[in-house]
Amino acid sequence: MGWLRRKQTTTTTTTTTVSPTANTPAPGRVKCISAPAQSNAAHVTSATLAKKLGATHYRYAFEIGWGLEALDSVVATCKTLGLQMILCVFRADRIIPTDDAGRATFASTCRDLVARAGPIVTHLEVWNEPNHKPFVTVQDPAAYARLMIATHALIKTTFGSTVTTITGGLSPEPSPYAPHEFFAACCATDPRFVTSFDLVGIHPYCFPHSPLGYESWNAMFQSVLLWQATGAKYGRTVELAATEYGAPSAWQTFTEATQAQWFGDYWTAFATRGPVWRIASPYTALDGNVGAGESWGPSAGLYRYDQTEKPAAAVWRSQI
């Protein structure tokens, strides 16, 4: 979500090699743009640009503890533009409940938020980066697994197949909280977890290194490991959702041309490395968000601050 990431300094290589596998793009892949935390007015601009890009969905993160007018404003904007929503929900205090009552409260709040927004919400993402410290006070896969179990059950009971559930998008993190490790720990917590989601959320940021790399810490490669391990151990071939991905255009050695190249490389990775990616949602539509929280975030947009397109916008549009 454009927040601080721990810079990879290791040069460790993997001991496992996974060759790219021919894989046609997922039919009906959701065309979504992910938004940063920003003002209601800025969401109007971002959503308008997402629509201009050809998106059908807008990913919006709502923190329990905010006023509901924030959700209502984004819902109204999306309705006006004819966009559907991926709604990501987490708590403003960043505390994952560890008791049954807390989990039930969180699940019922998610249900109520989806109901409030109405049919415009087609996907619910349960938490944002639950393995990443800025979004949790404690990195606790057991607590997160049980939260996902409770929330998925209530959402499916209430909305059935009309709402797709997504595990909280996992962020690049050092061991033992790397995406594939955190997810494996969730699976080990309770056997119900493996069937308590529709899609696995991943945020495969790996710059300044390529999304086509095979380093052991590479987030795209870790996504492949997650997919392989879940199938091998639990017999479920999970499908993935990149609810955030992308690259900056004015950071370290990155330029607008580099960003455009990376969008092409990501698409190659999504199409050839094994897992089916049902959602590929760039972060973000527009440059200049001061709430991004880190040096690369303000240049991650597909549009410049003056709302002119960067080369990456044409690349993404050609991919959808």
From first to last of the 320 residues of the chain, give the pLDDT tens digit: 543 343 333 333 333 333 333 334 455 789 999 999 999 999 999 999 999 999 999 999 999 999 999 999 999 999 999 999 999 999 999 999 999 999 999 999 999 999 999 999 999 999 999 999 999 999 999 999 999 999 999 999 999 999 999 999 999 999 999 999 999 999 999 999 999 999 999 999 998 888 999 999 899 999 999 999 999 999 999 999 999 999 999 999 999 999 999 999 999 999 999 999 999 999 999 998 755 567 899 999 999 999 999 999 999 999 87
Secondary structure in 3-state letters for 100-117: HHHHHHHHHHHHHHHHHH
Those residues with Cβ within 8 angstroms of residue 41's Cβ, 6 or more apart along the chain or in another chain: none
Rg (CA), the chain: 18
Those residues with Cβ within 8 angstroms of residue 250's Cβ, 6 or more apart along the chain or in another chain: 256, 299
Terminus-to-terminus CA distance in the chain, angstroms?
A: 21
Q: In CATH terms, is domain 32-319 a member of 3.40.50.720?
A: no
CB atoms inside a 10 Å sphere around CB 33 = 28
pLDDT for residue 320: 79
CA-CA distances (angstroms) from residue 146 to 193, 196, 227? 7, 9, 20
Supply the pTM of this predicted model: 0.92
138's tokens: 């404690």
**Order of strands across the sheet with 121-128?**
32-34, 57-64, 84-91, 121-128, 164-169
Sign for the CA dihedral angle at 109, 83, 305, 4 comes to: positive
112 vs 4: CA distance, rounded Å: 30
